Amino acid sequence: MRGIVVAVSTDRSLAADVFARDCATRPVLQAVTGRWGALVLVALASGTHRFSELRRRVDGISERMLSQTLHKLERDGLVRRDVQTTIPPHVEYSLTDLGRRITTPLATLIELVEQSLPEIAEAQVAYDAEH
C-alpha cells in the first residue's frame, strides 16, 4: 500500500499509506468498511435500487443513516445517484465501475464471514469460558 501516488483536488500529491494518520484513504476505507457502507455497497451489487428498496434490504438502517452513507459513497465515486425526471421524482442508486471493483472483494469477505459463522461462534464460546 505504500508509495502509491494519489492526486488530490488541491493539485498536490500524497503518498497513500493507510497507516499514516492523515492519509486520505482512511475516511474512504471507513466509509467502505463501516457498518452501513459495506452493506449498502453489497446490496447495490445486485443492481440498481431506489432508496426505499435499499432501506428494506439493509435491515436496521435509519433513513438518515442511509442518506448519509449514500452521500459519502457517492462523493467517493463508488455510488451513482440518478434522478429521473418523473412525477413524482424517482431517484435510483447504482454502483459505479470503481464501486463494483471495490465491492467484489468486499462481498467475498462477507460471504467468507457468513460461511465461517459456526467456527466463529465456537471460538467465542471458548473465549467466553476462559475469560
In one-letter notation, the amino acid at residue 31 is A
| Gyration radius of the chain's alpha carbons | 18
Q: Answer whether residue 8 is part of any domain.
A: no
pLDDT given for residue 14 in this prediction = 54
The alpha carbon of residue 101 and the mean position of all alpha carbons in its chain are separated, in whole angstroms, by 12
Q: Say if 122 falls within a structural domain.
A: yes
Residue the block writes with cell 435509519: 62
- The model carries a pTM of 0.83
Q: What percent of the chain has pLDDT over 90?
A: 76
What is the pLDDT at residue 8? 47
CA-CA distance, 30 to 4, in Å (whole number)? 19
- Digit-coded pLDDT (tens) for 114-130: 999 999 999 999 999 99
Question: What is the pLDDT averaged over residues 86-102?
Answer: 94
Give the structural domain span for 107. 34-130
pLDDT band at 37 (very low <50, low <70, confident <90, very high): very high
Q: Give the mean model confidence (pLDDT) for residues 9-34.
A: 80
Domain count, the chain: 1
The DSSP element (H or E) to which 124 belongs, if any, is helix 117-130
Report how far residue 37's alpha carbon sits from residue 11's, in angstroms, rounded to the nearest whole number: 28
Which CATH number fits the domain that encloses residue 40? 1.10.10.10
**Residue 99 CB partners (closer than 8 Å, separation 6+):** 41, 44, 73, 77, 78, 79, 80
Establish if 19 belongs to a structural domain.
no
In a domain, residue 17? The reply is: no
